[in-house]
Amino acid sequence: MKTIKLGNSQMNVSATALGIMRMVRLDPKEATNVLENVHDKGINFIDSADIYGNGDSERIFGKAFKKSSLKRDDFFIQSKGGIVLDPKKSSGELVFGQRYDFSKQHLIETVDKILQRMQIDYLDSFLLHRPDPLMEPSEVADTFDELQASGKVRHFGVSNFNPMQVEMLQSELNQKLMINQLQFGVMHTGPIQFGLHTNMQDDASINRDGEIIEYSRLHNMTIQAWSPYQYGLFAGTFIDNPKFPELNNKLQELADKYGVTKNAIATAWILRHPAKMQVILGSMNPKHLDESIAGTDITLTNQEWYDVYFAAGNDLP
């Protein structure tokens, strides 16, 4: 398994991580098998969020982890918080936010509940799930200090923040934000697309993300790519999707060359970027996970990387 340095630390973590949003679909025995399988394949990073499965994903993880042969230090365990669910819209796996809440009381209660559900004593990292326009950076700073001093959280980060939001929060913190979790993949290329179209006036040149990749590289923040095989927000996967014949033909061509599957090539495409991103794998299917993990052993050539980019419908000026 390829590894990367996490943030500005000296910690080595696996280039792919297991995201447990869909663990709500499994019983504890099935979940135990998933955890042991990915650990055997070299994954040492778990990503969660308090809202996944209305908390049930973390409850199942806790039961599965306890049943497994794994030790606490076998995994770097991360969760996210700050979204308040809308009970009228959220049920089962699908969850919808009613608002964001970065108040000290809410965040501390969130971490306490995460630890209880996951049956662990501490989180290796805790991320603010999405930007809250009502955020008071000084209050978040006080919260992070308390969580760290109590031993409940060791490191901190954000998810879906733009550079100025990171800067504003970082200006008050005593801890270095290590992670920004962003949607990125073959069919979600906005953060690099606008840079390629610098000094142009087409739609691809619109800067929607504030140079987030360049900012993250300059500040040693690890980008974690969520929904790496999705197109749109939650529209579905592009793998084997008849809507994207050119892309799937190119992925298959490269998969045949390297003796892997399309998922592996889509993983390798993200990891080829010099930002040294980490790919969040959300499947609970051991076979699909194995296929995606295989992408960590492949280094695409520059031309192959661009060929996939073109096949996804992008162009160069």
Q: What value does the mean pLDDT of the chain take?
A: 95
CA-wise closest residue to 63 among 112, 20, 18: 20
Share of the chain above pLDDT 90, in %: 90
Quick one: average pLDDT of 189-206?
91
Secondary structure in 3-state letters for 123-165: EEEEEECCCCCCCCHHHHHHHHHHHHHCCCEEEEEEECCCHHH
Quote the CA–CA distance of 5 and 137 in Å, as a whole number: 27
Other Cβ atoms less than 10 A from the Cβ of 288: the count is: 16
pTM over 0.85: yes
Whether the per-residue pLDDT at 92 is higher than 60: the answer is no
Whether the per-residue pLDDT at 172 is higher than 90: the answer is yes
Q: What is the pLDDT of residues 126-165, one digit of tens each?
A: 999 999 999 999 999 999 999 999 999 999 999 999 999 9
Identify any residues that bridge with 188 across adjacent strands, giving them in sequence order. Answer: 185
CA-wise closest residue to 300 among 262, 259, 263, 270: 270
Backbone angles phi, psi at 52, to 5 degrees: -65, 120
**3-state DSSP: the chain helix, strand, coil percent, rounded to 5?**
45, 20, 40
Spell 114-132 as b/e; 16+ CB within 10 A means b. bbebbebebbbbbbbbbbb
Q: What is the pLDDT of residues 29-82, one digit of tens each?
A: 999 999 999 999 999 999 999 999 999 999 999 999 999 999 999 999 999 999
Q: What is the pLDDT of residues 283-305, one digit of tens each?
A: 999 999 999 999 999 999 999 99
Structure tokens at 209: 């993300």
| pLDDT tier for residue 85 given thresholds of 50, 70 and 90 | confident
